[in-house]
Chain A
Amino acid sequence: QKEVEQNSGPLSVPEGAIASLNCTYSDRVSQSFFWYRQYSGKSPELIMSIYSNGDKEDGRFTAQLNKASQYVSLLIRDSQPSDSATYLCAVNRDTGNQFYFGTGTSLTVIP
């Protein structure tokens, strides 16, 4: 079982819609959760981090964490074509500071 699992997609949404990206993780001791955006040929850039159960909002982005279900999601409201990228979910345990990344979900926002 992989540490972090994501649906590889591709996920296509029309411009202005809500894009929903999901991630599950296997280790219950995981404490920190991150969403990165990676444009083709570029390096990952941090979008959101979340540490507590519930929702965390930042502009058009909302991260949702449910530790009981070992599930973290990213919602992108009012999706724009510039949001088209691969979104990587990352998880950090409380020990060792090693980060585990999913394989990413490819998102395409159709104008």
Chain B
Amino acid sequence: GAGVSQSPSNKVTEKGKDVELRCDPISGHTALYWYRQSLGQGLEFLIYFQGNSAPDKSGLPSDRFSAERTGGSVSTLTIQRTQQEDSAVYLCASGRGVLGSTDTQYFGPGTRLTVL
């Protein structure tokens, strides 16, 4: 079946503009994660959705960042008033949402965001 897909693959924007990044998880996966990865850095957790539960937003770096997940499937990460330090690759991952801690994440190809 299809893997996790993300769009756009690349986004160049001007400082101060808003951007929306989209993630389509693997069908049937109830867990969805957003990360960002800056050049040469590890993955920084942003937000986690699990089914209909309230999302874990503890990783969002500022109130300019928000995310939603409609119908328990597609997710959109929105960055308002973008800053140059927001430039990174934004990765989405989905998982089966297995209870406990044995879930496995499958990553999408990422969106490379460049803020000029």
Contacts and interface: CB of A to CB of B under 8 A. Distances in A.
Interface stretch (A11-19, A62-70, A71-79, A99-107): A99-107
B77 to A, nearest CB: 15
B31 A43 contact: no
B108 A103 contact: no
Contact of A32 (B35, B42, B48, B101): B101
B60 to A, nearest CB: 13
A98 B45 contact: yes
What band does the interface of chain B fall in when counting residues whose beta carbon is under 8 Å from A?
A: 20 to 34
B39 to A, nearest CB: 11
Interface of A: 4, 31-32, 34, 36, 42-46, 49, 51, 88, 90, 92-104
Interface of B: 31, 33, 35, 41-43, 45, 48, 50, 56, 58-59, 91, 97, 100-110
Chain A to chain B: the 9 pairs with minimum beta-carbon distance, closest first: A103-B42, A101-B43, A43-B107, A31-B101, A32-B101, A92-B101, A101-B42, A94-B101, A44-B107
